[in-house]
Amino acid sequence: MRLSAVQFVIFFFFAACGVVGSPSDKPSSIRFSGVPALGFDPDNGFGFGAVGAMYVDKENYRPYQMALGLKVYLTTKGVNSHAIQLDQVRAFGLPLRLTTRLGFFSTIAQNYCGPASDAQCAMRDAEFAAAERVNEEREKFINHYYQNRFMSFFGHVASRWLLWQGQAKLELMLAYRGNYYLTGDFKHRGPYEDSLYQKDYLNQKTDGYLSTLELGLMLDKRDNEPAPTSGYWLETSARGGSFLIGSAWDYFGSNAALRFYFPLDDDHRLVIASQTIADVIVGDLPFDAISRIGGSQALSDYTAIGGQHIGRGIREQRYVGRIKFIEQGEFRYNFWSFSLLRQQFDLNGAVMADLGMTAWDFSRFTKDMQHVYLGFGGGLRIYWNKTFVIRGDLGVSPNENFSPKFYLVVGNVF
What are the C-alpha distances in Å from 30 to residues 94, 235, 288, 341? 22, 31, 37, 15
414 residues of the chain, pLDDT tens digit each: 443 333 333 333 343 333 444 444 456 789 887 666 666 666 677 778 887 889 898 888 888 899 999 989 888 878 898 999 999 999 999 999 999 999 999 999 999 999 999 998 999 999 999 888 888 889 999 999 999 999 999 999 999 999 999 999 999 999 999 999 999 998 899 999 999 999 999 989 999 999 999 999 999 999 998 899 999 999 999 999 999 999 999 999 999 999 999 999 999 999 999 999 999 999 999 999 999 999 988 877 789 999 999 999 999 999 999 999 999 999 999 999 999 888 899 999 999 999 999 999 999 999 999 999 999 999 999 998 888 888 999 999 999 999 999 998 888 899
Class of domain 5-410: mainly beta
123 within 8 A of 143, measured Cβ to Cβ: no
d(CA 359, CA 365): 5
Counting DSSP H helices and E strands in the chain, the numbers are 6, 17
What are the C-alpha distances in Å from 257 to residues 219, 232, 337? 11, 11, 31
Domain ranges (residues) in the chain: 5-410
